[in-house]
Amino acid sequence: MLESAPLLSEFSDWHAVLNRYLHVPVNPGESEDEWELRWTALDDDFGARAKPYDAAPITEWPDELRAEIESSWEAIFDPATWRPKLNLQATISELRTADVVRAVRIR
């Protein structure tokens, strides 16, 4: 039996972290088009403020800017912000043979 729970996240949301942009979750009842408009406005605003730091590591960004982007990433781990029909990924620290109950070949 696994000693600790896996860390679950929505696969595509990781692009926000990998590409250093805001994660903007879909609001309940919000359509994809509505979300896209809201995301574009927030991304344009944040991108303009972050532009001077594009080449710098995020650890060298101003504290307020860094806190804003990092706090947006926290929603990646909140199941309430996940969209329907998503692709989840799990991260665990250790997987033992005894934890495996079956294997499926993917072709």
Q: Is 9 exposed, middle or buried (0-12, 13-18, 19+ CB in 10 A)?
A: buried
**Residue 36 host element (H or E):** helix 32-50
pLDDT (0 to 100) of residue 104: 87
pLDDT of 19-55, one tens digit each?
Answer: 999 999 988 888 889 999 999 999 999 999 999 999 9
CB count within 10 Å of CB 17 equals 16
Which residue type is seen at 93?
Answer: S
- Structure pTM? 0.73
Gap between the Cα atoms of 105 and 107, Å rounded? 6
pLDDT (0 to 100) of residue 3: 61
- Using alpha carbons only, what angle is made at residue 57 by residues 52 and 58, rounded to the nearest 5 degrees? 80
Which residue type is seen at 43?
Answer: D
Radius of gyration for the alpha carbons in the chain, expressed in angstroms and rounded: 17
Cα distance from N-terminal residue to C-terminal residue, the chain: 29
- Where in the chain are the domains? 7-99
